Structure 1
C-alpha cells in the first residue's frame, strides 16, 4: 500500500495531521477529470465538471455515511461553519455557541464574528474528552455546540455521539469538526446523529488543499448564497432566488472544481484501503514508540520531549518531516509509513 502514494525521497513523513501524501493516481485522474473536459470542449466543460463534484459528494457519502444530497463542497472548514451558523435563528435567551478552548482557533474566529448575527461565543477549559464536561457546559442558553472529533494539539477524541445526544435532548444544534479524524478514525454521520458536520480532505484523506465539505440533514437557509445555491443555477432571473432543495444551498457562487476532482482520488483511495486497516497500522507503528493505551486518541502522537531542541535536531538529521506546537511534537503515522519509519522516530526520541 506504500506504493499507492507519492512519498518524499528520504526520511519518515510524519505530517498527515497537516497535509497527507497524495495518491500516485491523483495526477492522471486530475488530468482526466479537470483538464480533459476543458481541452475537449473549451467553454462547454461545466456539465462534466459538475458531474465531477457530484463524484466528490458521492465519495464522501460512501466513506462517511449519509445521503449524497446532504453533502456540499466547501472551500474550507471555516467557510462551512459560518454557512451553517448563518442559517440558524437565535433568541436572546438561547444564543450561546459553546466550544472547547482546545478547538482549532479558526473555529473560534468564525464564532466571534457570528456574534454580529446575535450569537455569543463561550469557550470552556475542561477536558473535551470527558462527556461530563460537555454535560456541564450545555446549559439552557446554548444554541449551538461545536465539537472537534479529534483535537489537533493533543489528539484527544471527543465523545461526539454522546455530545450529539445531549444536544438533541436539550434542543441544541450540534456541529462536529472531523478535519483531524476523517480517514483515520471510523465515522458514520447517521450513527452519530449530529445535526451537521464539517471537515477537510487535506489531512488524513490525502486529497490536497481547498477541498472542504459540510454535511447537514436540516433545511437551513444560509446567508452567504450565490447562483450555485439556487434551485436552478442557470435560470438567471435576478429577482427570483430559490434555495437548492439539497445541501447545494450552501455552495455559494461560482465553485472551484479542481480541488474536488483532486480530492476524490484521495477519498476513494482511503476507502479502498479501509479506515479500520489504516487505524490498525497507525496503532501498530505508534506502539513501537509508545506502548501506552491509545483509547480516546486520534492518529497523531503528541510527544513532549525532555530536550526539545536535541530531539528536533535528531529527527531533522534523520530526514523526518514533522511539526511542533509549543512544547509538543506532532508525529503522525499513515498507511504509507513503515516499521522502519517508526523505529527511526523511536531512536530519535530516545
Structure 2
C-alpha cells in the first residue's frame, strides 16, 4: 500500500491522521475545483455524496441508503441522540470513561433533556462490567470498538446483545478501527454506527459518517436538520418539511464537497486492495513490536484478536526512550496511558524493525 500514499518516514501517527492518498490532489482538482472553475458546481458536486455513501457502505457491508455523511463524529452522535424520543422511565446513557472525550461531552449535555450518565465500572473489555450497568432504565449504550488510548477491542457483539435484550439503543464508535481491523457491522447488528475518515481510513477531516440500521431510520426524527435532510431538498417550500426517507434525514444543511472529493480518493484505494491482507500485515508487524518489550511495560494488548492497530508503551518507562525516538525522527504521540505508535498497511518492515530495535535497547 505504501506506493499509494504520501508516507513520511517513520510515521506512526495514523491513529491521529492517516496519510494522504497520492490520488487525492488530482481528485480534489477534478471533482471539486474543476466544477467550481467551470461553473458546473452543484451539478458535478452532488454525485460526490452518493459516491461517498456507497464507498462507506461497501466497507461496512451495508446499504448506501443507511449511510449519512457528517462533518465529525460529535455531530453524528448529537444527531443520533436528539433524534430519539425521550422517555423518563428510560433515561440512562451507558458509556465508558475510556471513550474518547468528545463522546462524554456530547452525552453530558443530553442531561439537559433529563438523561443521566452511567459510566461502567471496571474493565470495559469485560462483558460483566456492561452487564452490571445495562438495565431496563437504559436508553442508549455507547460502545467504542477500539479504545484510542490503549487499542483494546471491546466485545461489541455481546454488548449489543445485552442492550437489545432491554430494548436500549446501541451506538458503536469505529473511529479507531475502520481501516485497521475488521469491522463486522452486520454481525454486531447495532442500531447506529459513527466513524471518521481522518484516521486509519485516510479520507481526511470533514469526511465522517453515521450508519443507521434501516428500521431505525423511519423511527428517528433528528432535530438538527437542514434542507438536505428534506425528502426533496430542491422543492423549496419553506412551509413543508418532510424527513428524507433514508439516512440523509440526519444530514443537515448545505454539503461541503471538498472533503468528500478527498475522501472518495481514499475509498477508491480501499476498493483496490485486499483488506484482509492489510489487517493481517498490521497484526504481524504489531507482533514484532510486542516481542521487543516485556509485557509488563505494555498498555496495549499482546493478542492480535484483542487489539486494534496501535501499540502503547506505559508512561513509566518513557524517559530514556523518548529522547532516542526524537533523535531517530520517529513520529508518535503520548497520552496518559503511554506512548502511542500506530501501524498501517503502508508501514514498512524496515520502520518496524527500527522501532523495535530502539525499544529493545532503551527500555
Q: Which band: TM-score by shorter chain?
A: over 0.9
Which residue is 1:142 aligned to?
138
Pairing 1:273–2:273 present: yes
Most deviating of 280-289 and 177-186: 280-289
Q: CA deviation at 1:159?
A: 1.0
Q: CA deviation at 1:305?
A: 5.5
**Distance in structure 1 (CA, Å) of the matches to 2:137 and 2:189:** 21
TM-score (norm: length of structure 2):
0.92
Which residue is 1:253 aligned to?
253
1:29 pairs, out of 2, 15, 27, with 27
Q: Secondary structure at the match of 1:348?
A: helix
**Distance in structure 1 (CA, Å) of the matches to 2:145 and 2:221:** 25
Spell out the pairing of 1:63-82 with structure 2 (5 A cutoff).
63-82=59-78
**Distance in structure 2 (CA, Å) of the matches to 1:324 and 1:139:** 36
Pairing 1:348–2:358 present: yes
Q: Tell whether the 8 Å contact from 1:100 to 1:126 is kept in structure 2 after alignment.
A: no
Q: Tell whether the 8 Å contact from 1:230 to 1:242 is kept in structure 2 after alignment.
A: yes
Q: Tell whether the 8 Å contact from 1:104 to 1:152 is kept in structure 2 after alignment.
A: yes
Q: Tell whether the 8 Å contact from 1:65 to 1:187 is kept in structure 2 after alignment.
A: no
Pairing 1:286–2:286 present: yes
**Distance in structure 2 (CA, Å) of the matches to 1:191 and 1:285:** 27
Q: CA deviation at 1:2?
A: 1.3
The CA deviation string for residues 150-187 of structure 1, in whole angstroms up to 9 with x for no partner, is 00001111111111121112100000000000111112
Pairing 1:196–2:196 present: no
Which residue is 2:226 aligned to?
226
1:338 pairs, out of 348, 353, 363, with 348
Q: Tell whether the 8 Å contact from 2:315 to 2:336 is kept in structure 1 after alignment.
A: no
Pairing 1:110–2:106 present: yes
The CA deviation string for residues 54-112 of structure 1, in whole angstroms up to 9 with x for no partner, is 10000001111111011000010000001000011122121111100110010000001
Most deviating of 74-83 and 283-292: 283-292
Which residue is 2:175 aligned to?
179
Q: Secondary structure at the match of 1:165?
A: helix
Q: CA deviation at 1:271?
A: 3.3
Most deviating of 230-239 and 183-192: 183-192
Structure 2, unpaired ranges of 5+:
292-301
Q: Secondary structure at the match of 1:38?
A: helix
Aligned residues: 346
Q: CA deviation at 1:321?
A: 0.5
**Distance in structure 1 (CA, Å) of the matches to 2:236 and 2:115:** 34
Q: Tell whether the 8 Å contact from 2:120 to 2:130 is kept in structure 1 after alignment.
A: no
Q: Tell whether the 8 Å contact from 2:118 to 2:133 is kept in structure 1 after alignment.
A: no
**Distance in structure 1 (CA, Å) of the matches to 2:315 and 2:103:** 29
Q: Secondary structure at the match of 1:241?
A: coil
**Distance in structure 1 (CA, Å) of the matches to 2:159 and 2:337:** 29
TM-score (norm: length of structure 1):
0.96
Q: Which runs of 4+ in 1 moved over 4 A?
A: none
Q: Secondary structure at the match of 2:95?
A: strand
Q: CA deviation at 1:306?
A: 4.8
Q: CA deviation at 1:189?
A: 2.1
Structure 1, unpaired ranges of 5+:
none
Which residue is 1:313 aligned to?
323
RMSD across aligned C-alpha pairs, in angstroms? 1.3
Which residue is 1:153 aligned to?
149
Q: Secondary structure at the match of 2:20?
A: coil
The CA deviation string for residues 273-312 of structure 1, in whole angstroms up to 9 with x for no partner, is 2332121111111122213423211110111255313211
1:18 pairs, out of 9, 16, 19, with 16
